[in-house]
Amino acid sequence: MATPRSKVATGEPANDRPPQPLAGRRILICRPRPDGERLARQFRESGADVRVLPTLAREALPETPETRTLIQNLDQFHHVIAVSPYAATLLLELLDTWWPQVPAGLHWYGVGAGTAAVLSAAGVTPEAPGHGWTSEDLLALPGLRTPDGERVLLVRGEDGRELIRDTLSQRGAEVTVLPLYRRFCPDYDKKTITDVLTDFDPEVIIALSGETLNNLVALGKNTNHNLMKRLLLVPAERVAEQARSAGFRWLCIPQGLADTDIVAAVVRELPTEQH
């Protein structure tokens, strides 16, 4: 009688399925699209049951004469800072329209690695914090410590934290803000909110900005949810403080904001068995 061949002996993989450390775990992602959908795919590869409910949406602002003038005079600046991948993407689209090639001599910055990657793909060489991804980390970069008399273009949404502008102005820089998009909370009907927050009952919530978190709390006010008892992943201690003030107690800050870093942080934080 023939002996069955061992997969190991024949060089075949012992298990064709990749490890699924989050099998069956319920994850709610509140990130804007398309980033939220991309992160969801990463979680699903780890076996998780995922829902995406963006509590923050973004919309490009129409081009104005003021915007066009700033872009056409880009070569008059010393530093260009993009605060997010979306800000960098919109800026590069404008540059593609008004500049045959990116003007030389500029110092480019991305607040985090994701923003820097968008800029790098366009052929510029941006600086970004080696560790961390906050405005505070960006402001610690050597090139921004003593910008006295230098012109800085800060590319961002139409509102948000003023730390970068205020700090660089205090350091003597002439800071010009270029708002390219607006952020807003999407409008959901009660059934959608109840289905996701109460019926799905996520074990983990991903909220990667203070505004995202605030909108989530507001949307859930009239539902019978248990979010405050669930694991909440936030990007930085500043947002963690907001979460504690809102009533969350189980918080996690990942080692990075790449999709793989976020999934790894959840794997590390969750208990190995569901209860």
Whether pLDDT at 267 is above 90 = yes
Residue 12, domain member (yes or no): no
Residue 244 has pLDDT above 80, yes or no: yes
Residues 79 and 157 in one domain: yes
**15 in a structural domain:** no
pLDDT tens digits, one per residue of 104-153: 889 999 998 889 999 998 889 999 888 778 888 999 999 999 999 999 99
180 shares a domain with 64: yes
Dihedral over alpha carbons 226, 231, 233, 238 (to 10 degrees): 80
Shared-domain flag, residues 167 and 243: no
Together in a domain, 111 and 196: no
Please tell me which residue, 222 or 239, carries the higher pLDDT value. 239
Question: What CATH number does residue 48 fall under?
Answer: 3.40.50.10090
Look at residue 1 and tell me if it is in a domain.
no
DSSP H stretches of helix in the chain? 7-10, 35-45, 65-72, 85-98, 113-121, 135-139, 163-170, 190-194, 210-219, 237-246, 259-269
Residues 180 and 68 in one domain: yes
169 and 240 in a common domain: no
Q: Are residues 173 and 197 in the same domain?
A: no
Whether 253 is covered by a domain: the verdict is: yes
Q: Do 71 and 163 fall within a single domain?
A: yes
* Tokens 């023939």 -> residue: 2
- 258-264, long-range: CB within 8 Å, 24+ apart, which pairs? 258/113, 258/114, 259/38, 259/39, 259/42, 260/42, 262/39, 262/42, 262/206, 262/233, 263/22, 263/39, 263/42, 263/43, 263/46
Give residue-wise pLDDT tens across range 52-87.
Answer: 999 999 999 999 999 999 999 999 999 999 998 999
Task: Based on the fold, state whether residues 238 and 154 are members of the same structural domain.
Answer: no
Q: Give the domain range for residue 113.
A: 59-184
Asked if residue 3 is part of any domain, the answer here is no
Q: Which of 138, 162, 184 is the last residue of a domain?
A: 184
The average pLDDT across 191-197 equals: 94
In a domain, residue 195? The reply is yes
- Whether the predicted pLDDT of 221 surpasses 50: yes
Do residues 178 and 64 both lie within one domain? yes
Residue 15: the pLDDT is: 55
- Going by C-alpha positions, the residue among 189, 198, 252 that lies closest to residue 26 is 198
Nearest to 232 by CA among 195, 202, 187: 202
The pTM score is 0.81
Residue 89 lies in a domain: yes
Q: Is 249 inside a domain boundary? A: yes
Lowest mean pLDDT among 161-170, 174-183, 226-235, 264-273: 264-273
Q: Report the domain count for the chain.
A: 2
Same domain as 216, residue 156: no
Starting at the earlier edge strand, list the strands of the sheet with 151-157: 57-60, 174-184, 151-157, 79-82, 107-110
Domain check: are 136 and 210 in the same one? no
Listed residues 184, 212, 235: the one ending a domain: 184
> Considering 167, 184, 201, which residue would you say is the last residue of a domain?
184
Residue 1: what pLDDT? 44
